[in-house]
Amino acid sequence: MDSEWVIDAQGLEKSYGSGASRFDALKGVSVQIAPGETVAIVGKSGSGKSTLMHLLALLDEPDRGTLQVAGNDAKSLSKRAVNELRNKEFGFVFQQFFLTPNVSVLDNVILPLKIAGTGGKERRRRGMEVLEQLELADKAGNKATTLSGGQKQRVVIGRALVNAPRVIFADEPTGNLDTATGAVVEDILFDLNRSQGITLVIVTHDEELAARCDRQIYIRDGLVVSRTASTHTGAHALSTADALTAGGAA
């Protein structure tokens, strides 16, 4: 990838509805994320943080602004190319598990590989490899309905991980979990960042979870109101924060 950014978004705007019912969810937000960073997008319900994630993850399109993802101009891509890029480069962990209840844990995990057209033997090999990594190999044949909340979220992480993504987007990943189980899920995500260099973009209202990230981007009423960077992340992360602040909407 030629760019130093895995995601480079400039001036993103997004509105819903029209006339008197129009709602401006984002009002010119710029975000740049470097490979291997952990970034928290923080804000209250309705602030625009989930809308921003949906745009960055190619799940929705901005009304205005530019978006470069893994060196690709999102606007220039066909719908098929967007789907392929999203499946190849991104993994997703949501507050709601979105598991298929009556199929096996393994089949849930390997779904992205099926979409990508990966062969059956390779799907199973990679799926089992991920389940072993997440200490769920003994549950491979179980139906998703038989699992605890924490186990279900680990399956979701496995599904996000199986395509070896460059970025994992996590939207309130511990919102449906108790404190202890949520801490385990958080540790798994940050361990993946450290051991495999996977970029993490975490949408949350949880200040403690946000504080674990290299940088925090705070959103209110569709605008970035502040940005902070942890001092332990090194010169590159600090220069990233400086570039972001210089880019506006600070």
Give the percent of the chain with pLDDT over 90. 72
Q: Which domains does the chain have, with CATH numbers?
A: 7-246 (3.40.50.300)
Closest CA relative to residue 214, chosen from 196, 184, 193: 193
Say which residues have a Cβ less than 8 Å from residue 33's Cβ, sequence separation at least 6: 5, 6, 7, 8, 39, 56, 167, 199, 201, 240
Please report the pLDDT score of residue 248 as a whole number. Answer: 37
Q: How far apart are CA 92 and CA 161, in angstroms?
A: 9
pLDDT bracket for residue 3 (50, 70, 90): low
Q: Is the dihedral of CA 182, 184, 188, 190 positive or negative?
A: positive
Q: How far apart are CA 180 and CA 192, in angstroms?
A: 19
CB atoms within 10 A of CB 72: 17
pLDDT for residue 205 is more than 70: yes
224-240 pLDDT tens trace: 998 887 644 433 333 33
150-181 pLDDT tens trace: 999 999 999 999 999 999 999 999 888 889 98
pLDDT for residue 214 is more than 90: yes
17-56 pLDDT tens trace: 988 899 999 999 999 999 999 999 999 988 999 999 999 9
Q: How far is CA 234 from CA 9, 53, 84, 214, 238, in A?
A: 23, 25, 33, 9, 6
- Which amino acid belongs to residue 164? A
Say which residues have a Cβ less than 8 Å from residue 178's Cβ, sequence separation at least 6: 149
Per-residue tokens: 193: 């960042």
Please report the pLDDT score of residue 245 as a whole number. Answer: 35
Q: How far apart are CA 240 and CA 229, in angstroms?
A: 9
Whole-model pTM? 0.85
pLDDT for residue 1 is more than 80: no
78-127 pLDDT tens trace: 999 999 999 889 999 987 888 998 899 999 999 999 988 999 999 999 99
